[in-house]
Structure 1
Amino acid sequence: MKTNFKAVAEEILGRTISTEEGIEISKIEAQEKNIEISIPSSLKEFYATLGNIPLFVDGYQHFATIEKLFVKDDKLVFLEEHQSVVYWAVDLKNDFTILQTTNQDFTKDIEWFEMDFELDTFLLMNLFFQCVMSDESYHIKAKGGFEYAASLDSEEYNRNKVSKNFIDTLSIHWEEVINQDNMTIYWNKKLNEESIIMYFSNSENKELEITACTKSEHFLDKLIDDYGFYQL
């Protein structure tokens, strides 16, 4: 099922997203004409509805502005890692395969690596990833973001039974929105506890890095006092 990115983003922020917070279709179509391609529908919708919300397009990883989208090897390059080391693209031969590269010079031959994510899920993942990783200032500007952040290190997770049980049983009370490519993201929509928790796992399924963001200072205190997190 295709993701309604605007609806998800509105639920994340807890408010209505205005037309001005997206990019005008005419501008998107002008760039399509300029680079002589059709932008895959999921990516086009993402830009058209959320493309002017810094939290989602620039908070940590950097989505290319419409004018800077470009094609290399029949792949549309649209996302740059925050340190400009990794780039992501969608394969225009099928409009859904996501590939990444660590080559930064696109005038030369590029070595591409296919990801487990397809475009729609990759964009959905990034909505939540940006929330977890973005600085407080992006959340404040978004008017509904998650202003408080905390982390649980792997040693505390493995040592503290309460911490481990909390993470291992998130699926009981939280919504699992992503579980793919060694990444898991949970979403708590409960009033006064609205939070996102993201972690990565290695091949042995031991959590390596656990990060949380929340709208509630009270819930932040709970993460710290009850479950061994520390504030970021």
Structure 2
Amino acid sequence: MFVIMHYLQIIRKLYNLPEDANQGYSETEIAALENRLKIQLPAALRQYYLTIGKNRMVNDSFNRLTSLGEIGFSEDDHLVFYEENQAVVLWGIEKADLGLPDPPVYGTYDSARKEWFTDADTTEHFLLSMAWWNGALGGLTYTAFTDLEEDLTPERIALVTANWQEQTGISNQLLRFFTNDYEDILVFTTEQNGQVNGIYIGTNREEKYNTIMSTLQMEWSYRIDRDE
């Protein structure tokens, strides 16, 4: 179950960000965007850009938050503000939903065909899921992943589910997130049938990383301490 805590606090805790650090865009920069597009950003997205919109480790270590200079509408009226690392997937908010404070976020593999899927029920959940996923994929200091058959046995997967709490209701993508205290993140990638096909982990704290390694005892396809 998702623990009630503001999503920006969760991101700050995982990335060990100071509460008073200025890592966002200015009100003037956001107002210029809103004037250019003749819109007002939803409160959740506006707050994110203001608070940590310029932090590259959170927003550009794998998938990428669109800069204010690039953000714009697709041909079918979705405000596109996030893109997959190879621009295969785009994410946006329907123009009709911009008046909502925390609207749903949709993704598309081909915006020209106007086929969008619901990625997250709220903007806050989407931004949190991206911060977690980016962290496990290199945004955090200590990372590892495995897609090895010997690591993905039911017994090994059960070690994760028994020792870390699943954070449900965050994303409709084929990702499952686990953490106990938001100081680390473990992510399952899955098939459509729910079968786990990869495990990714990330933390900024060496002691947390060592605990994950000693608890799971996996071979790992990659781990940062072997790469150094």
Q: Which range, TM-score by smaller chain?
A: 0.7 to 0.9
Do the aligned residues in 2 keep the contact of 1:154 with 1:207 (CA within 8 Å)? Answer: no
- Partners of 2:148 and 2:49 in 1: how far apart? 36
Corresponding residue number in structure 2 for 1:50: 52
Task: Give deviations 1:159-180, integer Å, cap 9, x for gaps.
Answer: 473x23212324xx43626464
Task: Give deviations 1:140-199, integer Å, cap 9, x for gaps.
Answer: xxxxxx3111123251244473x23212324xx436264643311112438xxx421001
- Partners of 1:154 and 1:115 in 2: how far apart? 30
Given residue 129 of structure 1, which amino acid in structure 2 is its aligned partner? W
Corresponding residue number in structure 2 for 1:40: 42
Do the aligned residues in 2 keep the contact of 1:5 with 1:49 (CA within 8 Å)? Answer: no
Superposition CA RMSD, Å: 2.7
Alpha carbons of 1:87 and 1:112: their partners in 2 closer, same or farther (altered >3 Å)?
A: same
Do the aligned residues in 1 keep the contact of 2:57 with 2:135 (CA within 8 Å)? Answer: yes
Match for residue 173 of structure 2 among 175, 181, 184 = 181
Do the aligned residues in 1 keep the contact of 2:84 with 2:90 (CA within 8 Å)? Answer: yes
Corresponding residue number in structure 2 for 1:87: 90
Equivalenced residue count is 212
Structure 2 length as normaliser, TM-score?
0.80
Given residue 117 of structure 2, which amino acid in structure 1 is its aligned partner? E
Given residue 203 of structure 2, which amino acid in structure 1 is its aligned partner? T
Given residue 201 of structure 1, which amino acid in structure 2 is its aligned partner? T
Q: In the TM superposition, what is the alpha-carbon distance from 1:229 to its structure 2 partner?
A: 4.3
- Partners of 2:107 and 2:154 in 1: how far apart? 36
Given residue 167 of structure 2, which amino acid in structure 1 is its aligned partner? E
Pairing 1:211–2:200 present:
yes
Corresponding residue number in structure 2 for 1:16: 18
- Partners of 1:224 and 1:6 in 2: how far apart? 27
Alpha carbons of 1:42 and 1:54: their partners in 2 closer, same or farther (altered >3 Å)?
A: same
SS at match of 2:88: coil
Pairing 1:122–2:126 present:
yes
For structure 2, the 5+ residue unaligned runs are: none
Structure 1 length as normaliser, TM-score?
0.79
Q: In the TM superposition, what is the alpha-carbon distance from 1:31 to its structure 2 partner?
A: 0.7
Given residue 218 of structure 2, which amino acid in structure 1 is its aligned partner? G
Alpha carbons of 1:216 and 1:6: their partners in 2 closer, same or farther (altered >3 Å)?
A: closer
Higher relative contact order (CA 8 A, sep 6+): 2
Corresponding residue number in structure 1 for 2:184: 195
- Partners of 2:23 and 2:203 in 1: how far apart? 23
Corresponding residue number in structure 2 for 1:74: 77
Pairing 1:150–2:151 present:
no
Alpha carbons of 1:203 and 1:103: their partners in 2 closer, same or farther (altered >3 Å)?
A: closer
- Partners of 1:91 and 1:222 in 2: how far apart? 42
Match for residue 101 of structure 1 among 84, 105, 108 = 108
